[in-house]
Amino acid sequence: MPTVVRLRSAVCLLDRFPALAGVDLDVEDGEIVLLSGANGAGKTTLLRLLAGLIPLYSGDAAVLGCDLSRDRRGARRGLALVGHETFCYDDLTVRENLRFAARAAGRGPGAADAALKRVGLDAVGDVVHRRLSAGQRRRLALAVAWSRDPRLLLLDEPHAGLDSEGRALLDEIVRAAPGEGRTVLIASHELDRIRSLAHREVVLTAGQATLPALVPVPAPAPEKADVAP
């Protein structure tokens, strides 16, 4: 399996403070990896580094075969980040925001409409972003990421603000990701929930990754056989 993420002694500074202090990490194609750790451990910083949104101070970092020190744009072409914000425009409708993101990624309006359906936002497609609830915004952020058809999906606390239906939908998207050729990194405090989805867990402590703890891959739920009463 090709390596999608490769970090060696990666250091990131935020206001001259080492938010990541020498992280080593390998993520293989098709893996679902849980990033866990206390608040301030560096989970968000790690995801933003991988998305090319903050610079690498020292060490080596490669995402999708692109060296982040030299070719952040190349790495971004194949990834999507669901962060704390939606990356959307308040005065554009849900559909317009999605179409902009999809077209920027070289995909047609069909991809945006499919993403809209996938996250269950078709009913509010013509509503401007500023009028969405917090949960709807989370769904839209997920749709924006999904519409780009990314090979690497970076999710930062993706369950926050979602209702139970939204959480189930998100789980379904994450569970289906390897089969669709995607690799997923999820930073979350909802450990039990994500552990049931993830192939393994990486614990960040004070900006450093400890040895990955292997988590058993959950067996797929058996399909119910149609049994005549």
Partner 1 sequence: MSLLDEVRLVAGKDLRIEARSRVTLQQIVPFGLIVLVLFAFALDPDRGVLKRVAPGLFWITVLLAALLAVSRSYTIEADNGARDGLRLSGLDGPALFLGKAAAIAVQLLALEVVLAICVVVLYGIELNSLFPLVLATLAATVGVSATGTLYGVLAAGLRVRETLVPVLLLPVVAPVLLGATRAWEAAIDGVPSDAWPWVGLLGVFAVLFTAIGMLAFGSLLEEA
Q: Which is nearer to partner 1, 137 or 159 (CB)?
A: 137
Closest CB 11 distance from partner 1, rounded Å: 19
Instruction: Tell me the per-residue interface mask from 22 to 61 with partner 1, x by CB under 8 A, - otherwise.
Output: -----------------------------xxx--------
- Under the criterion CB under 8 A, does residue 138 sit at the interface with partner 1? no
Which of 72, 95, 151, 199 touches partner 1 (CB under 8 A)?
72
The 3-state secondary structure of the chain, one letter per residue: CCEEEEEEEEEEEECCEEEEEEEEEEEECCCEEEEECCCCCCHHHHHHHHCCCCCCCEEEEEECCEECCCCHHHHHCCEEEECCCCCCCCCCEHHHHHHHHHHHCCCCHHHHHHHHHHCCCHHHCCCEHHHCCHHHHHHHHHHHHHHCCCCEEEEECCCCCCCHHHHHHHHHHHHHCHHHCCEEEEECCCHHHHHCCCCEEEEEECCEECCCEECCCCCCCCCCCCCCC
Which of 103, 159, 193, 200 touches partner 1 (CB under 8 A)?
103
The count of chain residues that interact with partner 1, using the rule CB under 8 A, is: 31
Which of 23, 121, 144, 198 touches partner 1 (CB under 8 A)?
144
Q: Which is nearer to partner 1, 57 or 87 (CB)?
A: 87
Closest CB 1 distance from partner 1, rounded Å: 25
User: Which positions lie near partner 1, rule CB under 8 A?
Assistant: 51-53, 72-73, 76-77, 79-81, 83-92, 96, 100-101, 103-106, 128-129, 144, 148
